[in-house]
Amino acid sequence: MEKRAWTARGMVQEADKAVIAALADKNKVAARIFVTGEAHETYIGDAAHRLLININDTLYKNGVSNEPLFIETRNDTVRMARFDPAVVWRCFDPEILTALIKNEADRLGVKMDPWEMEHFDFYESMIAAIEAENNEFAIPKIKQGADLDYFYNSVYLSCLLLFRKPCYMDMPVAQHFSDLSAAEHLKHIEYRPLKLNEEEQVKKLREEYGHIQALTNPELNFIVSLYEGGRV
């Protein structure tokens, strides 16, 4: 089975491509959603938020599509019902895309060069950039007194860093990082290298479960064990 991008959702329709191209050309703020397929209202602003939702009515009234492209969520985000970066990113000028990607990287406080992205997926490339800056076996430090949100965000990120597997607790990666607490966590965390015995366990788990796309219980149990006791 061909591996899909972490952020892929549904199949992009021909009518969607025209909307994507026009919006990227006319409204660079609203177009921020085209990097990951989901954007928080505080990031794109109320005007862009409304614009995206209203596009659905325009498509419907013009007989272009009965299915909405942009969905308003209970988490104050707008999510694309159909998103595949390998398709969406080819709908507009690469210069616009690189500017949008840089904006997203800045929002999350991650150092990455849009021209050196390794994947047709922002978050896969982001994880590769974090790894390059630290090392292959690094995870977020847990600080003494960290709350449950900090623990959750650290575990989610560690699943990506060590095993390249999103959807911890069934949370899609675009939804996770559009959350304000996840974004703040990523901006301010420090990383620690794994100890040698921890490294060896990661290698064994990768060898045994790397062919399974979903996160397995042994992988998750290992990551959670790294944070037991609130170690720094």
Say what the pTM is: 0.92
The answer to whether position 220 is within a domain reads yes
Residues 102 and 146 in one domain: no
Q: Clarify whether residues 112 and 154 are in a common domain.
A: no
Do 121 and 85 contact (CB within 8 A), yes or no? Answer: yes
- If asked whether residues 109 and 159 sit together in one domain, one would say no
Residue 16, Cβ neighbours under 10 Å: how many?
24
CA angle 117, 53, 31 (to 5 degrees): 25
Sign of the alpha-carbon torsion through 133, 138, 144, 150: positive
Report if residue 80 sits inside a domain. yes
For the chain, give the number of residues.
232
Asked if 144 and 205 sit in the same domain, the reply is: yes
Give the C-alpha separation, 223 to 209, whole Å.
14
Instruction: State how far the Cα of 46 lies from the Cα of 30, in Å rounded to an integer.
Output: 10
Indicate whether 4 belongs to any domain: no
User: Are residues 116 and 152 located together in one domain of the fold?
Assistant: no
Instruction: Give the other-Cβ count within 10 Å of 74's Cβ.
Output: 5
Q: Is residue 213 part of a domain?
A: yes
Q: Is residue 1 in some structural domain?
A: no
Domain count, the chain: 2
- Same domain as 138, residue 82: no
The answer to whether position 169 is within a domain reads yes
* Residue 34 structural domain: 14-120
pLDDT tens sequence for the chain (232 residues): 467 899 999 999 998 999 999 999 999 999 999 999 999 999 999 999 999 999 988 776 666 667 899 999 999 999 999 999 999 999 999 999 999 999 999 999 999 999 989 899 999 999 999 999 988 899 999 877 788 999 999 999 999 999 999 999 999 999 999 999 999 999 999 999 999 999 999 999 999 999 999 999 999 999 999 987 554 4
> Residue 33 is encoded by which pair of tokens?
């959603």
Count of C-beta atoms within a 10 Å radius of residue 50 = 14
